């Protein structure tokens, strides 16, 4: 071994063990908080003196235990964590028994059969969990941080929550990115698509876009505008509504969008034209021109957007910029027309459909379960 190899091996060992230490800490924090939630629920249902503490239980408990990170609001979150994931109990008793106090096991584990569990709080547990269920909960328990769990437990629908668990296992997003995916209705968007597998793959790429096609969605949802009669809205009204909800609009657009201009005036020949919305994408280093239409995509809409993009390429593009991208937002994509209209173009033009109201929730359970089996 020479000095170079020595230094490499020390760094390699440090990195490996440091990662394992972080993982172990995450698992222990998750376990502590789940157990805390379990104990609280068990006390609320069976505590001999529970009436004495009433609604002030969590405040009094926080003052009594004086544990950093377990304030009254955090104790409430622990309780919510237990209610959202009662099936973790089966995992703990099978895989993490050595991490539990002996008296705890004697109190809640069983007497007759491994599938029976004592205690009123644990009546929420389902005894018919399959092997796949246990493997899934094992995966998320070991690979999902507690800070991610704090976002997941806010989701009441179990299928929807399972979808985002799958997304975490597949993409390892930051907590901020997970929250953005939830806020921008990724679950509903995938459910709306004709091919959920392809749509889910697109979502994974868009978490960190690598090329221009990754920054565009096939469907955009503007339900946050709360427009009562969407079929009557005019283009200028839609534009104004989006600007009035700019933060939510940018969140819906995705990672990296920075607002630059509204009704951007450009001079082509001796006539002025106005681009509805202009953004700059900080990750892909390009301008994004958005044209809004309150109707089905038409040939002239695409032709107009082509003109804007060519203008930007010739007059606005800086040496360190990538070519601009155009997004035409319409109520109906008219895919056949779009295919012919952009077939001979070297410009990045995308036609996407927007909806002002959410679609009916689609069944995603079979897709999610199938994907989880392949992890």
Predicted TM-score (pTM) of the model is 0.53
| pLDDT reported for residue 123 | 42
CA distance 273 to 302: 15
Q: What is the DSSP string of 309-343?
A: HHHHHHHT--TTPPPPEEEEEESB--HHHHHHHST
CA distances from 86 to 73, 80, 123, 125, 367 (A): 20, 10, 9, 6, 23
Residue 77 pLDDT > 90, yes or no?
yes
CA distances from 220 to 56, 155, 166, 343 (A): 44, 21, 22, 23
Q: Which domains are assigned to the chain?
A: 3-141 (no CATH), 155-210+361-375 (no CATH), 216-355 (3.40.1350.10)
| pLDDT reported for residue 222 | 74
- Residue-wise pLDDT for 182-231, tens only, equals 887 788 777 766 666 776 776 766 666 656 666 676 667 676 777 666 55
């Amino acid at each position: 071994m020479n000095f170079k190899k020595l230094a490499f091996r020390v760094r390699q060992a440090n990195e490996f063990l440091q990662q394992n230490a972080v993982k172990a800490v995450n698992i222990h924090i998750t376990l502590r908080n789940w157990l805390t939630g379990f104990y609280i629920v068990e006390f609320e249902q069976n505590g001999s003196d529970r009436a004495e503490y009433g609604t002030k239980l969590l405040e009094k408990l926080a003052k009594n235990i004086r544990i950093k990170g377990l304030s009254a609001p955090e104790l409430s979150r622990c309780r919510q964590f237990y209610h959202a994931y009662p099936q973790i109990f089966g995992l703990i008793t099978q895989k993490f028994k050595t991490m539990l106090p002996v008296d705890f096991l004697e109190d809640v584990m069983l007497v007759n059969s491994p599938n029976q569990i004592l205690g009123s709080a644990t009546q929420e547990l389902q005894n018919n969990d399959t092997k796949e269920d246990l493997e899934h909960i094992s995966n998320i328990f070991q690979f999902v941080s507690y800070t991610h769990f704090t976002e997941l437990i806010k989701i009441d629908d179990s299928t929807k929550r399972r979808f985002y668990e799958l997304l975490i296992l597949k993409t390892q997003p930051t907590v901020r990115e997970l929250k953005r995916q939830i806020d921008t209705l990724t679950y509903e968007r995938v459910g709306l698509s004709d091919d959920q597998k392809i749509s889910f793959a697109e979502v994974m790429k868009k978490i960190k876009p690598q090329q221009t096609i990754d920054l565009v969605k096939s469907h955009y949802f503007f339900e946050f505008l709360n427009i009562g009669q969407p079929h009557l809205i005019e283009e200028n009204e839609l534009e104004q509504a989006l600007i009035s909800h700019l933060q939510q609009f940018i969140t819906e657009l995705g990672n990296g969008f920075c607002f630059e201009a509204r009704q951007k005036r450009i001079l082509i020949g001796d006539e002025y034209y106005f681009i509805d919305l202009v953004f700059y994408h900080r990750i892909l280093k390009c301008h994004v021109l958005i044209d809004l239409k309150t109707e089905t995509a038409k040939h002239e809409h695409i032709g107009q957007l082509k003109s804007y993009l060519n203008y930007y390429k010739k007059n606005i593009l800086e040496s360190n910029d990538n070519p601009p991208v155009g997004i035409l937002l319409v109520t109906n994509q008219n895919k056949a027309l779009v295919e012919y209209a952009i077939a001979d173009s070297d410009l990045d033009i995308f036609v996407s459909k927007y909806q002002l109201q959410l679609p009916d929730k689609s069944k995603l359970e079979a897709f999610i379960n199938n994907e989880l089996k392949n992890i």
